[in-house]
Amino acid sequence: MALLPEKIRNKINSSYSYVTFGIYYDTYNKTKAYYIPEQPKALTIEKFDSDMVPIVTLYYGSPIVGQSSLSIVDQLNDIQTEIDILMAKIKDASQLTAANTVFLPEGSSIKAEQINNRIGSVVTYRA
């Protein structure tokens, strides 16, 4: 509430610590309105003398051409794909073998290459 102008704070019920508010600019009629959904009576409309709305566009990176740039979501897409692949491998591993390790005696008729559990390790040992 500290960000609101004092004349608007005076119209609001003092029991509120935080409020949601909107500032609307009308460059055609040269007005500026403060609107608080919790307190419709606190609607305040005042004169606005500029032809431009006081909003600044901040870019994460400089746009090469046009008015848009890559967002952080676009830049992290490859990393998220890698995370998804790793998570799928971990899921498969936990469903196939709980410990993700299979011990195989060296002299057995089973070859380590024949065991296919997609994920996990096969350890041979001497019996």
The confidence score (pLDDT) of residue 113 equals 77
Residue-wise pLDDT tens digits, 49-106 = 888 888 877 766 666 666 776 778 888 999 999 999 999 988 887 777 666 678 888 8
pTM: 0.39
Mean pLDDT of the chain, nearest integer = 80
Burial of 9 (0-12, 13-18, 19+ CB in 10 A): middle
d(C-alpha 56, C-alpha 120), whole Å: 53
Nearest to 45 by CA among 21, 72, 68, 26: 26
3-state secondary structure of 78: helix
Are the beta carbons of 45 and 51 closer than 8 angstroms?
no
